[in-house]
Chain A
């Protein structure tokens, strides 16, 4: 939750935003090519140098073995990923709604902040993963306990960033709106919400992988579906290539999710300093 604490002074720097994406922004043409070459070089080194160390497949399988296993279990991967994706996205969506509503309450209703903040801070300091077994007792082995874990992990960064984005508006612009006879609804949609949007998208970049952690930990603890269960089952059988193949599925899912958020930024947040082309 380090990222969430940083958010108090500004939008969190998305922890999942790998340096490769950053480099792409600075040198647009050569960036993607360089990343591609780097990835290929890494895979080639793995494929041809690791056998020299005589590491067995059940410790570190070769990329070719992982790829083969991924191909063999493709439908299985897809079915389990669908389950995990559903609980992750549901948890994230609920966290987005609840986080923004809580932030609105804090920004608009005086005194709420001093009531809500100690509870949230205390709750945030509890490792959610440690109380995950409790959720299984309360909500069973179905999707509910996974959605709840995903929601709880994603909530805090979304709430904190929304609070900053909705609340920290230049007083002059609020004065200007008052003098222009602006209704508080329009000030909300035209000023506060617009100001908060980049803060919330940054929070989503952090919260999305966190929600995924929640889902997978939930699957580790109980149930018989999802990528987490697939990893556990593969581990029991010492089927390390399948563990890696499942990790590959997760990576594809996370990358796609972050990609969607980044596309949104490129399309709608062109004015952001990080999106400026010059």
Chain B
């Protein structure tokens, strides 16, 4: 297996705030990797640095063997909000990433229609975003990220704005879509069960400063359906991830209590 993405000793500060502290990990090609952690642990910042939309303060990131020094190409991106253009139909929104680069062909159109069918959006090709539900909008955004079949896909809490039931269904649907393409995915979430369900590897991060606490390999067989949620191994892995996040919070809380200078200020 070749290395698709390498993060080496990356540190990112915003003024006095340390957003990411010395993060290092590697992602193999065709691997689904989740970054899990509470809000403010620098997950999204890390993702933006991988895309080249932000530069690390120190350390280096390599995507497909090349050091990232600006916005990278050949990457699909899904944000927390669908960010569809309200004046474009579903089909036109999915084609946007090809249109804006001026390279749309009939093949892109055909691929977009295939993705629409795969994502269960058939019949809504010519609907405007306001005519779609939140879950459908996000599925369209995922199709857009997959249109050019990029070797790397970055997802920044893509289901964060959805209700719990839609969110769970979207998890299974994403798995189904991903199984057909197997692009390398870096997936940011704060849902532990979502991470265990979808991932091959989970990077557990802790906040203030954002630091990698644990890296968990998920050895559950694929494809994973609803029954996997009750699998003992699933529960065991979820507990380990949860323990990693909570354990770190305990220690940071302990530090505050023990520190005489800050105990009463807080």
Contacts and interface: CB of A to CB of B under 8 A. Distances in A.
A271 B77 contact: no
Contact of A186 (B79, B87, B99): B99
A183 interface: yes
Interface in B39-62: 51, 53
Interface in A166-202: 170, 172-173, 175-183, 186-187, 190-191, 194
A173 B148 CA distance: 17
B130 A273 contact: yes
Interface of A: 170, 172-173, 175-183, 186-187, 190-191, 194, 269-273, 276
B73 A179 contact: yes
- The secondary-structure label for the interface of chain A is helix
A187 B100 contact: yes
Given A175-B77, A273-B130, A182 B101 contact: yes
B99 A190 contact: yes
Given A173-B83, A194-B87, A272-B86, 7 more contacts: A175-B53, A177-B100, A180-B100, A181-B101, A190-B99, A191-B100, A271-B129
Interface of B: 51, 53, 71-73, 75, 77, 79, 81, 83, 85-87, 96-102, 128-130, 148
Contact of A172 (B71, B79, B96, B128): B79
B87 A180 contact: no
Given A175-B53, A273-B130, A276-B130, A182 B87 contact: no
B71 A179 contact: yes
A270 B100 CA distance: 22
Given A172-B81, A187-B100, A190-B96, A181 B73 contact: yes
Nearest to B72: A179
Given A172-B79, A178-B53, A181-B73, A271 B87 contact: yes
A272 B85 CA distance: 11
Contact of A176 (B77, B87, B102): B77
B101 A194 contact: no
Nearest to B154: A179
Contacts of A190: 85, 96, 99-100
A183 B103 CA distance: 11
A183 B101 CA distance: 6
B71 A176 contact: no
